[in-house]
Amino acid sequence: MNELDITFAEIAKIIEDAHNNAYRKVNEELILMYQRVGRFLSEKAKETNYGDGYIDSLANYIQKQFPGIRGFNRRGLYRMRQFYETYVGNENVSPLVTQLSWTNHLLIMSGSKSNEEREFYMRLAIKERYSKRQLERQMDSGYYERYMLSKSKLLPEPLQSQQNPFLDQYVVEFLDLPDTFHENDFRKALVKGMRDFILELGKDFTFVGEEYPIQVGGEDYRIDLLFFHRSLHCLVAMELKVGKFKPEYVSKMDFYLEGLDRQIRKPDENPSVGLLLCASKDDEVVEYAMSRTLSPMMVAQYQLQLPDKNILRKKLQELASFPEIEETTGGSDNA
């Protein structure tokens, strides 16, 4: 890139930043307006002369005053009232509401069953900068329930003091796989659908390569998928298994992580982390297999179809009923 191109790129960055700032400001004013309208309607609802016809009359009046304005019909006004009443007095979410689009707010309000779940998706959507499609997919996949269930799992010691970026179960419904497939097919399908896979993993994951080579003792070994995690500031080795978890997988991952740390890891990076992604696993077998390993490693299972959210919610309710883990499942401040 020559000097002139660099100058042009700087101008383009100024324009892009100004455009993004303007969009955020417009969105902020829009959300605050909906909130104020919602507050007005909520307060009017407490008056004795308030009836169902009030909303209809107000919608008609607004249409006459502002012809062509969208969102201020009967349904839209009820949503604004619901929006205000949902978050009024909630200091945790007050700084968040203007950072989300109205469309994403509607998805979260209609698809969440608790204040904790709503706050979780608000924080997640802001952090990951989800579009409507991306947020909808995460909610359909029961991401909140899967995340909260994963928090109850015993983490490797190097990760216990940090926010765990890994899930106990990953949903990869976007893969176009035959009824019978091998690990090679699984790997290639994930690479082909990497954009959707990164959505499932989290945008802090950066894809480095597939069948990543390391050489030890004159022999070549290949890691199925290699990522770099920006928040953990480390390499993440992923091994794919189309069958049930086996204890011997742990020693192989230990070997790969040692190879990465000795040969690939940079001096300012943290020790590499491993993720074994299996079709199924027995938690007791996993605990036994990993009880003596010092490597930061997680074992997760994958699912090829969207899960039944009612089943996930039932599992989460059962988990939350145990006093010793109540604190783990009681909120989403770390989301």
Q: Give the CATH number, domain containing residue 262.
A: 3.40.1350.10
Summarize the confidence of residues 151-177 as an average pLDDT.
77
**119 and 195 share a domain?**
no
**45 and 192 share a domain?**
no
Residue ranges making up the domain that contains 308: 160-325
Summarize the confidence of residues 260-267 as an average pLDDT.
96
**47 and 167 share a domain?**
no
**233 and 105 share a domain?**
no
**115 and 218 share a domain?**
no
Q: What is the reported pTM?
A: 0.85
Name the nearest CA neighbour of 97 among 19, 35, 185.
35
**129 and 210 share a domain?**
no
| Structural domain contains residue 153 | no
Measured at the CA of 103, the angle between CA 97 and CA 107, to 5 degrees, comes to 85
Distance CA 308, CA 311 (A): 5
User: Could you tell me which residue, 331 or 282, shows the higher pLDDT?
Assistant: 282
pLDDT for the residue 103 = 97
Total count of domains within the chain? 2
pLDDT for the residue 48 = 60
Q: Which of 2-16, 26-40, 155-169, 221-235 has the lowest mean pLDDT?
A: 155-169
Q: Is 242 exposed, middle or buried (0-12, 13-18, 19+ CB in 10 A)?
A: middle
The answer, yes or no, to whether residue 334 has pLDDT greater than 60, is no
**122 and 194 share a domain?**
no
Tell me if 221 sits within 8 A of 259, measured CB to CB.
yes
β-partners of residue 280 are 244
**182 and 301 share a domain?**
yes
Position 4 confidence tier, pLDDT thresholds 50, 70, 90: low
**182 and 313 share a domain?**
yes
H/E run at residue 243: strand 234-244
Q: Which of 7-16, 96-105, 118-127 has the lowest mean pLDDT?
A: 7-16
Position 157 confidence tier, pLDDT thresholds 50, 70, 90: low
Summarize the confidence of residues 40-67 as an average pLDDT.
86
